[in-house]
Amino acid sequence: MALDRQDVEKIAHLARININQEDINEYLGNLTSILDLVDQMQRVDTQNIEPLSHPLDAIQRLRADNITESNQREQLQQVAPAVEEGLFLVPKVID
């Protein structure tokens, strides 16, 4: 599957990553060669093979719904870029 510049821009948008216009060709080249590499997979017949998502086929463990952690909001928000009165600040979303 051949990609073009618009595909790279679309993927970058989906990933919410800004890519400079002058770098798009380099990413296009890299992604194309990576996708060529992974296309080797298409030669293998995998019909009726169960996909493996966990090496030990474990199932999700459940626990009792008990409170085990104390509230550490102030401490956890110390590493945030912008905080006010316990809230994370972001650019205005609604006018």
Partner 1 sequence: MFSKTIAQLAIGLNKGEFSSCEITQSYLDRISAQDGKYNSYITVTPEQAMAQAKAADAVISAGNASIMTGIPIAHKDIFCTKGTRTSAGSKMLDNFIAPYDATLIEKFNAVNSVSLGKTNMDEFAMGSSNENSYYGAVTNPWGENRVPGGSSGGSAAAVAAQLAPAATGTDTGGSIRQPCALTNLSGIKPTYGRVSRFGMIAFASSLDQAGPIAKTAEDAAILLNVMAGFDHKDSTSADKPVSDYCASLNQPLAGLKIGLPKEFFSEDLNPQVAAQIQAAVKEYQSLGAQIKEISLPNTALSIPAYYIIAPAEASSNLSRFDGVRYGYRCESPVDLEDMYKRSRGEGFGSEVKRRILVGTYALSEGFYDAYYKKAQQIRRLIQQDYIKALKEVDVIMGPTTPQPAFKIGEKTSDPVEMYMEDIYTLSLNLAGLPGMSIPCGMVDGLPVGLQIIGNYFAEERLLNVAHMFQQATDWHKNTAPGL
Measured from the CB of residue 45, what is the shortest distance to partner 1 in angstroms? 10
DSSP string of 16-76? T----GGGHHHHHHHHHHHHHHHGGGGGS--TTPPP-SSTT------------S---HHHH
Shortest reach from residue 50's CB to partner 1, in Å = 6
Nearest approach, Cβ of residue 5 and partner 1 (Å):
13
Q: Which residues bind partner 1 (CB under 8 A)?
A: 7-8, 11-20, 27, 30-31, 33-42, 44, 46, 49-56, 58, 60-61, 63, 72, 75-76, 78-82, 88, 90-93
